[in-house]
Amino acid sequence: MITTAQEALTAFEDSWVSLQWTQMTDAQRNTYLRQYLGLQIAARKEIEANRIESETEQVTLAAQRTLAAIAYLQNLGFVGDNSQADWYKLYNRPHIFGANWQAQADYQISISTGVDYFICKVYELGKEFVND
């Protein structure tokens, strides 16, 4: 049976109930406290390792989505120079932006000819190409 460091720490802490602290020698107490400190450190390391692993998975997934979106943009002929030609390549793709694409695209062109809005939409679409 494999136990995690947190489970080992909890079991060790639960052993306080049956511990005869006053009957222990100083050496036994010191040994006990060193073990307890070691388990606390191991549990904290385990928590940090799990957090780092989770963040790494999220970054990897985001990178996969970005690559999928870039591939999709390249397939549309998108050059990426923020030009009017690129803007219209994305503007004229209603299947990317859903039912209200025209209103969203018209609003976007009224405030900017940049393609940031469309890149964000294609990035969202990239999520469909990656298994979550």
Q: If pLDDT is split at 50, 70 and 90, which confidence band does 110 have?
A: low
Q: Where are the alpha helices (DSSP H) in the chain?
A: 5-14, 26-75, 84-91, 94-97, 101-111, 116-126
Q: If pLDDT is split at 50, 70 and 90, which confidence band does 98 have?
A: low
Q: What is the pLDDT of residue 63?
A: 79
Give dist(CA 4, CA 92) in Å, integer: 54
Per-residue pLDDT of 57-89, as tens digits, reads: 988 887 787 777 777 777 777 766 666 666 666
Phi, psi of 128 (to 5 degrees): -70, -20
Q: Is 19 left (phi over 0), alpha (psi -120 to 50) or beta?
A: beta
The answer to pTM > 0.85 is no
Give dist(CA 4, CA 47) in Å, integer: 10
Q: What are the structural domain ranges in the chain? A: 5-129
Per-residue pLDDT of 49-65, as tens digits, reads: 999 999 999 888 877 87
What's the average model confidence in pLDDT over 77-104? 65
Q: What is the pLDDT of residue 71?
A: 77
Token digits for 10? Answer: 């909890």
Per-residue pLDDT of 6-40, as tens digits, reads: 888 888 888 877 788 888 899 998 999 999 999 99
* Residue 102: closest CA among 91, 112, 111: 91
Lowest model confidence (mean pLDDT) among 2-6, 46-50, 57-61, 111-115: 111-115
* Residue 4: closest CA among 37, 45, 32, 34: 45
Scan for tokens 């549309």, then name that residue.
Answer: 76
